[in-house]
Amino acid sequence: MNHPSTCRVGTVEKRPAGRYAPSPSGDLHLGNLRTALLAWMFARTTDRAFMMRVEDLDRVRPGSEQRQLDDLAKVGIEWDSPVMRQSQRLPHYDAVINDLRERGLTYECFCTRREILEAPSAPHAAAGAYPGTCRDLSASARQAKIDAGRPPAIRLRCDRDEFTVVDTVQGPYTGAIDDFVLRRGDGVVAYNLAVVIDDDAQGVDQVVRGDDLLSSAPRQSYLADLLGLPAVTYAHVPLVLNTDGKRLAKRDGAVTLEDLARTGVDAQQVLSLIAESLGLGGPGERISAQTMLGRFDPQTLPKHPWRIEPAELC
């Protein structure tokens, strides 16, 4: 892989970076840890910094942030300071939304989720795409909805319906984009806006995450292009699934470090299992994160999800 040169973000030079950005809504499970290790290895083997970001705009569970950071450290991941927290960056998001509004690129949307699902869509629109109901509301119609007590979301006024990104794992991917939400009706900034602004602020030019988020990459790349921000390199990696083929979750049983520790499986054993799933360790081999890093080759990564039965780990 190419090793990046130093880039400039705003007026400050930053070393190009990868990142991991968990939401502190609960403890990390095996799938989260595996993706975090991959993001770390992608960054470190390409001479990038590795940044940590806490995406705490929504669904925060007290104590989760520290437990997540502790668990990442237990499996050998280290990161560059400081840790960014989205809850401390609200003025930055507001400034970007205001700039887009001044450019005529936003509008207020009063639709509920149910109304969007029930509204007729254009024949060429992707399933679930916003149909543009509020795009051209008159000033009087908007005021009537506000007077009726409907707080508006802020949507981006897009000028195209698809965008293409190139992913180092998945290859070229063209996905649908619509007039997506920048700020929800309850005032919370939307993920698609925050992630673009934060990646730029942290110097992130390499985004490694689960392939369930691939469909969001075109929206984010389009927004970055609209804002004049550098494009990022994507690598969407396969998930960890349960035996039913569904994304692993805490309800599947002992899937967090704390749960597994109670059954006698320590963090080092978990790391070895993850290494084996990635072809970076042999069955039963006790391995460190640094050893995994030395063996890492993105070209040999498995292309399919890792299916596990949590009970078999104990």
What pLDDT shows up at residue 11?
Answer: 39
- Binding annotation: 19-23, 55, 109, 111, 130, 134, 191, 209, 250
- Binding annotation for Zn(2+): 109, 111, 130, 134
Topology given in CATH for the domain delimited by 91-194: Glutamyl-tRNA Synthetase; domain 3 (3.90.800)
Q: How far apart are CA 69 and CA 260, in angstroms?
A: 17
Q: How far apart are CA 213 and CA 20, in angstroms?
A: 14
Q: Which three-class secondary structure string do you get for 134-171? A: CCCCCHHHHHHHHHCCCCCEEEECCCCCEEEEEECCCE
Residue 27 has pLDDT above 50, yes or no: yes
Residue 127 has pLDDT above 50, yes or no: yes
Do residues 247 and 239 make contact, with C-beta atoms less than 8 angstroms apart? yes
What pLDDT shows up at residue 4?
Answer: 59
Q: Can you identify the CATH homologous superfamily of domain 15-88+238-313?
A: HUPs (3.40.50.620)
- Binding annotation for L-glutamate: 19-23, 55, 191, 209
Structure confidence by residue, pLDDT tens digits, 243-278: 888 888 777 776 899 999 999 999 999 999 999 999
The whole-number average pLDDT for the span 206-220 is 97
The proportion of the chain whose per-residue pLDDT surpasses 70, expressed as a percent, equals 90
Structure confidence by residue, pLDDT tens digits, 152-195: 999 999 999 999 999 999 999 999 999 999 999 999 999 999 99
Q: 134 exposed, middle or buried (CB, 10 Å; 0-12, 13-18, 19+)? A: buried
Lookup: tokens for 19: 């990142």
What pLDDT shows up at residue 123?
Answer: 47
Helix (H), strand (E) at residue 51: strand 49-54
CA atoms within 13 A on the CB side of 7: 21
- Binding annotation for ATP: 250
The proportion of the chain whose per-residue pLDDT surpasses 90, expressed as a percent, equals 79
Residue 115 has pLDDT above 90, yes or no: no
Out of 66-80, 102-116, 299-313, least confident range: 299-313
Q: How far apart are CA 235 and CA 215, in angstroms?
A: 12
What pLDDT shows up at residue 248?
Answer: 84
As a whole number, the mean pLDDT across the chain is 91
- 6 pLDDT tier (thresholds 50, 70, 90): very low
Lookup: tokens for 276: 């084996």
What pLDDT shows up at residue 119?
Answer: 77
- Could you tell me the residue ranges of all domains in the chain? 15-88+238-313, 91-194
Do residues 191 and 185 make contact, with C-beta atoms less than 8 angstroms apart? no
What pLDDT shows up at residue 13?
Answer: 62
- 126 pLDDT tier (thresholds 50, 70, 90): low
Q: How far apart are CA 233 and CA 134, in angstroms?
A: 34
What pLDDT shows up at residue 251?
Answer: 73
What SS3 class is residue 225?
helix
Pairing type for strands 80-85 and 49-54 reads parallel
Which residues, 6 or more positions from 11, have their beta carbon under 8 angstroms from its beta carbon? none
